[in-house]
Amino acid sequence: MSDSKRPEENTPRGTRPAMPPGARPAMPPGARPAMPPGAGPAMPPRSRPAMPPGAKPSGDGKPRLTRKDFASDQDVRWCPGCGDYAILATVQRLLPELDVPRENIVFISGIGCSSRFPYYMNTYGMHSIHGRAPAIATGLKASRPELDVWIITGDGDALSIGGNHLIHILRRNLNVQILLFNNQIYGLTKGQYSPTSEEGKITKSSPYGSIDHPFNPVALTLGADATFVARSMDRDTKHLQAMLRRAHDHRGAAFVEIYQNCNIFNDGAFFQFTERDTKPHRALFLEHGKPLVFDEGRKGIRLDGFRPEVIDLTDGRWSIDDCLVYDETNRELAQIMARIFFRPDLPQPFGVFYREKRPTYEDLLHRQIAEVTARKGKGDLQALLRSGDTWVIEPEPAEATE
């Protein structure tokens, strides 16, 4: 590797002090905590679900294939310790459990470390052009709706060079899964700041600190009217698999942001959310119909007007009934959760932020073709060629008849 810098020098995120969660001013006396409509039944503080959030029990169907059947014969060439390995393994474990014939699965990627992914999958795949995977996937899925199309992309690929295609595939709502491996750095080009890098980040291309304001991928995709938006992390493969399964089950464009550690150029960028010591009080797992609690049930989130705030469930002042019960079909709630973005006073949300039902692009496309065909009849090429004003030139020209 031409990079002479030691990776340790490039880890500003990891060196950040962990912030005490819930460091917010107390509520004014007498103020009633606001409850969202549809708040579910209270849940005892310590009763964590046995299953990872969003996971489904394994079905009765016996998967014909195993993880090994989805691994190609190519050597995986990511750096040792890269978070991509965990994501690859999670996907390879999940696919045999899905009810999809292997030959119908297609992985389309752009360019970047994450985009090598299709080469390692024993499915159909295309490693395409930087940023263009959604465009190529759109043509494939629109013309072959029966295929199960997965887009693999990264923060530079999806949000910088390919930002336009990402928002358009989301608004059109093709039934695909979009897995964005966010490591907040350009890895394959050896360590420049990316569109998700935090301000002030020191990288090779920003020796005095990045002056770019970062994208918030969840807020961006919600803004593009995505019909399914989730966030997960490479270090919690159970949660990741659950999110990927839900993304696959969703009929429409399912966007999953995956916090992925680049141990070479941006080590520890998400450690506060992913590591055992800090994860409980820095990560908040959203679950549909459940109150928002974290820190092993000791803390919760309530809404003060539109503002989320941390409440202590141990001192008797607040109870689980005061916590916000999450509703992943509520667009406004999703927006509020999306805006909890690297805030020292609030835990970072993971899980399904939002989902809605909307017709897919390919369904609308083929429905329209079917409707027009039903109305006009199946196209007759010879008749089409002859359409419009025609006239005949006879072999032996006769006088023009008027």
Partner 1 sequence: MAVFEKPVEVLPEATVLFAGDSGDGMQLTGLQFARATALARNDLATLPDFPAEIRAPAGTTYGVSGYQLHFGSVPVRTPGDAVDMLVAMNPAALKVHLPRVRRGGTLLINVNAFDRRGLELARYETNPLEDGSLEGYQVIPIELTRLTHEALADSGLDKKEIDRCKNMFALGLVLWLYSRPLKPVEEWLAQKFANRPKIRDANLKVLHKGYHYGETHELFAVRYEVRPARLAPGLYRAIRGVEALALGLIAASHQSGLPLFYGSYPITPASDLLHELSRHKNFGVMTFQAEDEIAAVGAALGASFGGALGVTATSGPGLSLKSETIGLAVMTELPLVVIDLQRGGPSTGLPTKTEQSDLLFALYGRHGEAPLPVLAASSPGDCFYAAYEACRIAVRYMTPVILLADGYLANGAEPWRVPDVASLPPFAVKFATEPNFRQNGDVRFLPYRRDPETLARPWARPGTPGLEHRIGGLEKEDETGNVSYDPANHQRMVKLRAEKVARVAREIPPTEVFGDPDGDVLLIGWGSTRGAIEAAVERLQARGLRVGSVHLRYLNPLPPDLPAIFERYYRLVVPELNNGQLVRVLRDAYLRPFVPLNKIQGLPFQAREIEAFVADLVQS
Contact set with partner 1 (CB under 8 A): 72, 74, 101-104, 106, 108, 111, 118-119, 121-129, 132, 134-144, 146-147, 164-165, 168, 365, 368-369, 372-373, 375-379, 381-382, 384-395, 397, 400, 402
With respect to partner 1, which residue has the nearer C-beta, 102 or 204?
102
CB of 69 vs partner 1, minimal distance in Å: 10
Contacts of 149 (CB under 8 A, 6+ apart): 106, 108, 137, 140, 141, 174, 175, 176, 177
CB of 126 vs partner 1, minimal distance in Å: 5
With respect to partner 1, which residue has the nearer C-beta, 88 or 338?
88
Using only C-alpha atoms, what is the Rg of the chain?
25
CB of 396 vs partner 1, minimal distance in Å: 8
CB of 108 vs partner 1, minimal distance in Å: 7
With respect to partner 1, which residue has the nearer C-beta, 101 or 289?
101
DSSP for 21-46, please give it.
TT--PPPPTTPPPB--TT------TT
φ and ψ at 364, to 5 degrees? -65, -40
With respect to partner 1, which residue has the nearer C-beta, 108 or 269?
108
Burial label, 56 (beta-carbon count in 10 A; 0-12, 13-18, 19+): exposed
With respect to partner 1, which residue has the nearer C-beta, 56 or 144?
144
CB of 375 vs partner 1, minimal distance in Å: 8
Contacts 24+ apart (CB under 8 A), 311-319: 311/22, 311/33, 312/22, 313/45, 314/45, 318/33, 319/42
CB of 381 vs partner 1, minimal distance in Å: 5
With respect to partner 1, which residue has the nearer C-beta, 80 or 397?
397
**Dihedral sign (CA 40, 41, 47, 52):** negative
Contact between 241 and 97 under an 8 Å Cβ cutoff? The reply is: no
